[in-house]
Structure 1
Amino acid sequence: MGVLRMGYVHARVTDLEKAKQHYGDTMGLYPVLVEDGTAYFKGWDEWDHHSVVLEEGGVGVAKFGFKVADPADIERFEDRATRFGCAVSRMSAGENREVSDGIRIVLPSEHVVELYHDMTVLGTEVGTHNPEVFPRHLVGIGAPRLDHALITAEDVNLMERFFREVLDFYPSERLATSLDADADCIATWLTVGNTVHDIAILKGPNAKLHHFAFELSSWSDILRAGDLMAMDDVPVDVGPTRHGITRGQTIYFFDPSGNRNEVFSGGYVAYPDRPCVTWTPDQLEKGVFYISREVNDRFTAALT
């Protein structure tokens, strides 16, 4: 089956206590473990031990973890990534808390991706036997799960090739210089399953993070999240609004260290056999923010 989903984001923060308040009290993620200047969180509807790791010291993303279906997938992807020209190394079980052995790949964009096949299971907050539809005592926004991330890269075409040829992702949407088949790719939204995107890549400096996002169920949940951000004085970048690209409903905002987050709902069901949707630069504003059709300078310039 190959890659199942993005399993975790390991981010850097300047102040761990403030970050714990943001991701725990405002986002409503469940704190799992704190040790050695590192905090682990999970959403209420996630099975595995954690999906967000916060490490004190700096800003931005340290690495992403993608879970694969079978241990045999690790060797297959190791061979493909090596032949693609990436630096690949093995990681042992326990190098990452509660995570199995696997491989660590340095992407052409200098981001680090880890592939693993197992993580300690804690279970969801509603369980598997006659479950309720959500936990009664959600905190803050109560984000159910990690959804996706957007990173920047100098060569978007090369990065899209990596995810397609090495990890079997496919693009659901693309921003290109024209509709020609050989047009230069400015941004790409890639998925490995039926979600509209698991990872997106925007032209920009290597090794930078634009945002990582959490799924919410509906537009009303997005609006409620905006109210809670106002109550907690969270700096909002854009929203609540809608994307043309992905059709998702959204708010972008910043954690106390300046890492951009997003809450995201909606979108559509993607299939590998559907045509890729292509956007051109003359319709960029409509694609990014469908309602206002305006993109502020901070939205593209603020990276960590």
Structure 2
Amino acid sequence: MAMTGVLRPGHAQVRVLNLEEGIHFYRNVLGLVETGRDDQGRVYFKCWDERDHSCYIIREADTAGIDFFGFKVLDKATLEKLDADLQAYGLTTTRIPAGEMLETGERVRFELPSGHLIELYAEKTCVGNGISEVNPAPWNAQREHGIAPIQLDHCLLYGPNIAEVQKIFTEVLGFYLVERVLSPDGDSDMGIWLSCSHKVHDIAFVEYPEKGKLHHCSFLLESWEQVLRAGDIMSMNEVNVDIGPTRHGVTRGCTIYAWDPSGNRFETFMGGYHPYPDYEPLSWTYDNFAQGLDYPQRKLHETFMTVVT
């Protein structure tokens, strides 16, 4: 599909309970590349194959969880249009000046009915991936450091009013519904998977009574072998694993879910199919969601449904 409007997930800012412990985990175990620190005490990371300055920012706080999730848009004109469209829809937007985050241009922030803060931005400094732009190698030495995902892929957020959230993403931001899980009575959606690209999802939501909760941020790997290698590295470092290695029915992705030292869940993910906006959404009935979650075991893992930050 043509890459216009909202391009892709750009960054997540996540709270950790101990900054130094978080830095060690994300730099040495997950294998992200540290790209900066600011006077607010935030530490910036990117995945090795990403070009922009940062995709994952951590800060120390008393509670774990997510501060905001951001999407990069095509250009400044697109940012202005989407800001106006959000306001016309009835949402309040806030302009955050360029430079408030390191190497990042002006951002437009708004709050979803689910209680989550979403940002849009058009500019972030390109720092490259350490590979020449002429006759490039397929990877560099950073790929062998820790788990070393290639990019921030998506996030799953828990909160109320996801039917209204879906309208904002589809009617204002240009996303489309790829898959959904029906509620037990079949009259509404319990979970929705949304895409602004031809990825199987760029963001997802599950209906939950508390606002603003993080289920996980997901990091993309290149192969099933790399997912299994991630599991080895997690075990070597005594990381608490939630689910996997396994395969989802929903999205067809292959996965391991685990927790960082502060209790924020993250995912190492690969696979999935390639949808397009003209595809009909796929639906999973609630009584078969166990297979949608863990296709081989057909198990509805209790922690997946209840543990969030």
TM-score computed with the length of structure 1 as normaliser: 0.96
Q: Does 2:199 match 1:192?
A: no
Select 1:49's aligned residue among 40, 50, 53.
53
Select 2:149's aligned residue among 143, 146, 156.
143
- Structure 1: stretches of 5+ with no match in the other structure: none
Which residue identity lines up with residue 198 of structure 2 in the other structure? N
Which residue identity lines up with residue 173 of structure 1 in the other structure? E
| 8 Å CA contact 1:43, 1:146 repeated in 2 | yes
Q: Does 2:280 match 1:275?
A: yes
Distance apart, 1:178 and its partner CA = 7.7
* 2:177 matched residue in structure 1: 171
What CA distance in whole angstroms lies between the structure 2 residues aligned with 1:291 and 1:107?
34
- Structure 2: stretches of 5+ with no match in the other structure: none
Which residue identity lines up with residue 191 of structure 2 in the other structure? A
* 2:13 matched residue in structure 1: 10
* 1:203 matched residue in structure 2: 207
Q: Does 2:161 match 1:158?
A: no
| 8 Å CA contact 1:86, 1:108 repeated in 2 | no
Matched pairs, number: 302
Distance apart, 1:98 and its partner CA = 1.0
Distance apart, 1:179 and its partner CA = 10
What CA distance in whole angstroms lies between the structure 2 residues aligned with 1:102 and 1:167?
15
SS at match of 1:300: helix
* 2:295 matched residue in structure 1: 290
SS at match of 1:20: helix
What CA distance in whole angstroms lies between the structure 2 residues aligned with 1:12 and 1:142?
21
| 8 Å CA contact 2:38, 2:102 repeated in 1 | no
SS at match of 2:118: strand
TM-score computed with the length of structure 2 as normaliser: 0.95
Distance apart, 1:162 and its partner CA = 0.9
Select 1:74's aligned residue among 68, 76, 79.
79
What CA distance in whole angstroms lies between the structure 2 residues aligned with 1:34 and 1:44?
18
Q: Does 2:36 match 1:33?
A: yes
Which residue identity lines up with residue 83 of structure 1 in the other structure? A
Select 1:232's aligned residue among 207, 213, 237.
237
**Deviation >3 Å, runs of 4+:** 177-180
- Mark the CA change 1:214 to 1:246 in structure 2 (over 3 Å): closer, same or farther: same
Which residue identity lines up with residue 104 of structure 1 in the other structure? R
* 2:217 matched residue in structure 1: 212
What CA distance in whole angstroms lies between the structure 1 residues aligned with 2:163 and 2:132?
42
* 1:113 matched residue in structure 2: 118
* 1:98 matched residue in structure 2: 103
What CA distance in whole angstroms lies between the structure 2 residues aligned with 1:152 and 1:177?
15
What CA distance in whole angstroms lies between the structure 1 residues aligned with 2:225 and 2:202?
23
Distance apart, 1:296 and its partner CA = 2.1
Which residue identity lines up with residue 172 of structure 1 in the other structure? V
Which residue identity lines up with residue 57 of structure 2 in the other structure? V
Which residue identity lines up with residue 20 of structure 2 in the other structure? E
Q: Deviations over 1:25-66 (max 9, x none)?
A: 011110111233211000111000000000111310001111
- Mark the CA change 1:239 to 1:3 in structure 2 (over 3 Å): closer, same or farther: same
Q: Deviations over 1:148-167 (max 9, x none)?
A: 00001211111111110111
Considering only aligned residues, what root-mean-square deviation do their CA atoms show, in Å?
A: 1.3
SS at match of 1:24: helix
* 2:25 matched residue in structure 1: 22
Q: Does 2:67 match 1:62?
A: yes
Identity %: 41
What CA distance in whole angstroms lies between the structure 1 residues aligned with 2:115 and 2:174?
20
Which stretch shifts more, 244-253 or 30-39? 30-39
